[in-house]
Structure 1
Amino acid sequence: MEFFIEVAYGTLIKHGEELPGDMVNVVRLEDCTIIVLADGLGSGVKANILATLTSKIAGTMLKEGADIYETIDTIANTLPVCKVRNIAYSTFTIIKIYNNGQAYIAEYDSPPIFAMRNGETMDISKKEVIINGKIIKESNLILQENDVLTVVSDGVIHAGIGEILNLGWQWKDVETYLKKRTGNNLNVQVIAKDLLEACWDLYCCKPGDDTTVVSVKIRQPSYVNVFTGPPKDKEMDSTVIRNFMNSPGKKVICGGTAANIAERELNRKLKVNLDFLNKNVPPTASMEGIDLITEGVLTLSMAIEKIKKYLNPSSDDREFIDYNGKDGVSALVKILMEDCTHLNLWVGKAVNPAHQNPDFPADLSIKLKLVGELYNQMKSLGKNVNINYV
């Protein structure tokens, strides 16, 4: 069975610093996914440089086929030496997961990885190897569907030290927290966000160290197709709708014109839902064979803003997404975040004169700009995204 390796991560920057001393690098290959979390020595600019070098070197070398021994040797010989402490290193955790679930983990001087299955901790057998004078803990395991791996930097384990907790949040405390959260079968975005929120609160909104969480979940591929905007050539309407409907996965239409095209080409009744579930959100509609139909530009814009706020762990507006909301924006965001690993966007390039001056070039259209923004946000969520312009 081929799985999709879903990855979500976020960082709280140490209070008073502008750059994070932790760095995450995710490299997706055809047969596997490589995740590197590096924690540079100290904080600020120097730590950022150390962590960036470590994560980029590791990700690039492993991508090109180098083994862990070559990779760590290169890192050890590349990092600059701190003149004050006379040491040069960045702690790191490297995870390589193949699409069949086979996983390899290498940990150097970092908090032990959390591995959860059905809400319980998995026992991971580790062996120590010495590479260039450094003790590396290696693990090999076979992951199953819905297994969750969570990697954290020291900032998570130390959360609350000197503030709410005398000794900080211990590894066992984090383990207990993750047991409860992963047992609810949440997606990785929620797991990572929740853990960062807890750390933010323990630090009383002033992180005493760079705090990073990386959550990885093994999922079956789940496809979502979104059709928005009429094709530039009206004669393409039939072909676009046929290809859209024949694509596997959920079907979503954003925009009244796109919905009318589907109604005409599929010869199915379009029914507008007149219940205003949220006065600030345009109403939805329904049609046989379509999972969700919403208004276009306004709904897309509001959905993108919700995802942006959710992705920013340091946002002043620390908003949780209401997955139980029935309005068009909540329903669209739920599908994009919960039900989607692969997103196919079907984007008509006809310019809607209601949105802007039709004399503007197509690449200036509000709709196309929103699609580009949605593409970037979904890629940030770790989704596989493909755009079909018509």
Structure 2
Amino acid sequence: MNYFVDFACRSLNKVGEELCGDKVEFFRTTDCVIAVLSDGLGSGVKANILATLSSKIAITMLKAGLSIDEVVDTMVHTLPVCQVRKLAYSTLTIVKIDVSNNVYVVEIDNPSVFFIRDGGVKPLESTERCINGRTIKESQFVLQEGDTLVLTSDGVIHAGVGTILNLGWSWPEVSCFLQSVIDEEKTAREITNLLLDVCSDLYVGQPGDDTTVATLKVMKPKWATLFAGPPQVKLEDQQVVKTLMKSSGKKIICGGTAANIVAREIGEEIQTSFDYIDPRFPPIASIRGIDLVTEGVLTIKGAVEILKDVQMNSRFEKLEEGHGAARLAKLLYEECTHIQLLIGRAINAAHQNPDFPKELSIKLRVIEELEEILIKVGKVVHIQYF
């Protein structure tokens, strides 16, 4: 794709409910990006199941290359209209962006997508048609750098109804708010959090409906390169350091041996800190020209756990804890879109169980977990082994 599509989503559960009745699915390849937001009828377990089923059906079929007509037809036959309320069991908003930044938006009973370009909310030129009894709205256009798409469930436009606001927040008022806060520097996560925090305030901390925001923002890629572990062959030390130092964007080193290799090859000293912010993680160090230097496996594993908590539970405050794992997680989550991992395969005896084969080393398993969670939070990851 010509640009990177930054993505973030977050939900507020209806007060008293453990499960959210909205569901967001996101899929990225080198050729396309697909985002699906579904709002299940009602709330709680039933709504969660309906929304999950709807979003899973939609994204699985779209990933397989099936048309929106086939998706909607399957949805109609899988989730019929509620005979009591005469309402669909779930709603959908689908956004698909291809390699040329052509975007296709489908809206089925959800609030209209907010499209922000050049600081203003632009109305989407849409057409309506009927597929097997369901009316859908379709829009097609080409995205530009800086464009933002904000998808919402109806909990957003109804925020405050019956409490602070008689009739809720409304689409035009949400539109004005987004115009006032979105700028070039705001990430998808920041936009999502700003909007959802206002919704929470309007609900006085007790949401009357499941409330979900999903944001896609078109931007230039931001790179980070992480070097961890010495190469299997010592002669490759120089090559891996050269790759690290020539890379654009943020530069990260995880592990004492890796730090010593870099310091030796570039002729710099390692400055070690003795400030233990959290006893679970060794303190960070510094090397001139490197953005972050941390301990190895323990710190990476800690960063993985923080990123999982952010992804699953929206625990963003963990990114601000200041220790090495939090600083690593924050840099990878907030300050880059593309991540290159330079991983040495040399075996550290301290990380091995003698009953395990070499490929099951703790280090490599942790790196696999890191790659997996980074992809889940919307990053593009490349791994090179030495």
Q: Quick check: TM above 0.5?
A: yes
Q: Which one of the candidate residues 363, 377, 383 is aligned to 1:381?
A: 377
In structure 2, relative to structure 1, the CA distance for the partners of 1:220 and 1:253 (3 Å cut) is same
**Residues of 1 paired with 2:360 and 2:192: CA distance?**
35
2:157 aligned partner: 157
**Residues of 1 paired with 2:174 and 2:313: CA distance?**
18
**Residues of 2 paired with 1:330 and 1:49: CA distance?**
33
Contact residue 273 and residue 283 of structure 2 kept, 8 A: no
Contact residue 347 and residue 388 of structure 1 kept, 8 A: yes
Runs ≥4 residues deviating over 6 A: none
Q: How many residues are aligned here?
A: 382
**Residues of 2 paired with 1:113 and 1:81: CA distance?**
23
TM-aligned CA deviation for residue 305 of structure 1: 5.0
1:339 aligned partner: 335
Report 1:96-115 matches (<5 A): 96-115=96-115
- Map Cα deviations across residues 278-305 of structure 1 (whole Å, 9 max, x no partner): 84572431234x3433333454355445
TM-aligned CA deviation for residue 347 of structure 1: 2.5
Report the TM-score, using the length of structure 1 for normalisation.
0.85
2:285 aligned partner: 284
TM-aligned CA deviation for residue 188 of structure 1: 0.7
Report the TM-score, using the length of structure 2 for normalisation.
0.85
1:319 aligned partner: 317
- Matched residue type, 2:71: T
SS in 2 for 1:259: helix
TM-aligned CA deviation for residue 33 of structure 1: 1.1
**Residues of 1 paired with 2:98 and 2:27: CA distance?**
12
- Map Cα deviations across residues 248-267 of structure 1 (whole Å, 9 max, x no partner): 54321122211111123x24
In structure 2, relative to structure 1, the CA distance for the partners of 1:335 and 1:314 (3 Å cut) is closer
Contact residue 352 and residue 358 of structure 1 kept, 8 A: no
Report 1:1-390 matches (<5 A): 2-82=2-82, 84-85=84-85, 87-183=87-183, 185-245=185-245, 247=247, 249-264=249-264, 266-272=265-271, 279-280=277-278, 282-288=283-289, 290-297=290-297, 299-301=299-301, 303-304=303-304, 306-312=306-312, 315=315, 319=317, 321=319, 332-352=328-348, 359=354, 361=356, 367-390=363-386
**Residues of 2 paired with 1:235 and 1:258: CA distance?**
14
Identity over aligned residues, as a percent?
Answer: 46
Contact residue 274 and residue 283 of structure 2 kept, 8 A: no
SS in 1 for 2:260: helix
Unmatched 5+ residue regions in structure 2?
none
**Residues of 1 paired with 2:347 and 2:353: CA distance?**
6
**Residues of 1 paired with 2:272 and 2:346: CA distance?**
26
- Matched residue type, 2:34: I
Contact residue 29 and residue 63 of structure 1 kept, 8 A: no
SS in 1 for 2:287: strand
Unmatched 5+ residue regions in structure 1?
none
Contact residue 192 and residue 214 of structure 1 kept, 8 A: yes
TM-aligned CA deviation for residue 363 of structure 1: 6.4
In structure 2, relative to structure 1, the CA distance for the partners of 1:168 and 1:88 (3 Å cut) is closer
What is the alpha-carbon root mean square deviation over aligned residues? 3.1
TM-aligned CA deviation for residue 314 of structure 1: 5.7
